[in-house]
Structure 1
Amino acid sequence: MNELTETIDINIPTQEIRNSQSKLAVIDLFDSIKKWKLWTYLGWNDIKIRYRGSVLGPFWITASMLVIIVAFSVVYSRLFHQSIAEYVPFFTTGYLVWVLISAALAESCNTFVEASLLINEIKLPYILYVFRLTWRHVIIFFHNALVYGAVALYFQVPLNWAIFYVIPGLFLIILNLISAGLILSILGTKYRDIPPIINSLIQVMFFITPISWNANLLPNSAIIIFNPLNYFIDLIRMPLLGQVPDLMTWNTCISITIVSSCISFVLFARFRRNIPFWI
């Protein structure tokens, strides 16, 4: 029995151990990080191509957001009996984060499908394409932040040292967009019904997430407590309004980040080799 065990141990090929799915997934991740110049260039180039030939270029993103904020503020400030000076900064900060999260999640479903030409022609790590998409939306976020700057100046939003909490808050959001983006990229590549389903869910989430309305209207409601987007929006909204996010918000977002990262890694390690055959 011992001889048989020894023979089996000796005959295990080391190449199979090195090429294990988990190790390949880790290698893919680190290779993607090392190629940061490539995915940052591709992300910025995506925006330039999208607005090529237009007068304002990428600033059309900012202009469209400004129009939406004005329209919503005029209507909803009256519906909720709030002053414009109070409602506009509230809605602007929430909508700023919402656009980042919702747009990134919606487009993540087609990450690998849209990059099929590159995937088939050039050997690049797969997570690089998720980084590319996330970076593209981070750039758009900073474009949109110009609207917040104008709103903060005009309505004299009381800013203080709490605004520095935007940095770790944005970092957590980006980590989750990468994790969720990787999950949706894999599912969207395998199942082509995923993109319309996600788009429909995003539309519903806009109305049940306190973006255009205050969470105080539904205290202790399950819609608020079990809505993860509520916590991530508060990570940015509260510092931009001069407030510090509470401990529950931080703990919830960190916990979600850990769970989503683990799920995305397991899923990617399991199905990474199938991606070229699905696109």
Structure 2
Amino acid sequence: MEHRGLDADGCFEREGSLGQVPGAFAGVVAAARGRIRDAYGRRLHSAYLYGSVPRGTARPGRSDLDLLLALHHEPAGEDRDAAEVLARGLDEDFPEVEGVGILLYGKDTLLSEAERFDLGWFLACRCTPLLGADLAEHLPRYRPDSLLARETNGDLADVLPRWRRRMREASTPDENRRLCRLFSRHLVRTGFTLVMPRWGGWTSDLTESAEVFGGYYPQRADQMRAAAAAALEPVADPAVLRAYVEDLGPWLADEYTARHGTKTPRARHDRQDTH
């Protein structure tokens, strides 16, 4: 029987490792390690990789490098400025990556009770340690249950108005493509976590996620497959974005709330899409 990303006890196995980093990305990962240390020094508690690079599925020139940095204190302006400089420098110096994204948090936030089933789960299960002591040692083991589904992606209804505003503000094909990639990934991952407790496992593969979703919602399967394809090969067509925010997104938000409830309100942090 396939284990579906779970161990023998039915808990998530941590995905990715430094040993799975493709050879083409070894240089940028090594540079990131050194530059993070230089940029943050004693302010840094730990650093992590996540996404396709530590999973071993990154494509040179097509994939981005995703980093999460945990600081001893809550990030200040100088910390965010340093992250921007760091991301820009890595992106410019290494053509292997198409972009560099850095999530920046204080360690107390990552370990907080409010974030236990969101950022805490993300760090413990989807991030690969790169520098420092691993905060996952202070977090519980996680299972693919309805609580996790609710706390990771149970806020799509709140996200959609922001997407509509960003769509209205987009004025170039490149901006539309970036939004297409962001929206598509978020919708596919939300569609997957909607059915995750019933499927009983985890995958970060977007194509597989769409197929798993389609097994439970065949009437929406083609839309989700198309979203998975657009996440990998984003398009500039505004009609695709409109379909997301006017049809698939609202339906998915309503179905999610009906099945899992709404994400617990909390003080939100500005962050990239992680789920």
Larger Rg over CA atoms = 1
Into which bin does the TM-score normalised by the smaller protein fall?
A: under 0.3
User: Whose strand proportion is higher, 1 or 2?
Assistant: 2
Structure of greater relative contact order (alpha carbons < 8 Å, 6+ residues apart): 1
TM-score, L = length of structure 2: 0.27
User: Whose helix proportion is higher, 1 or 2?
Assistant: 1
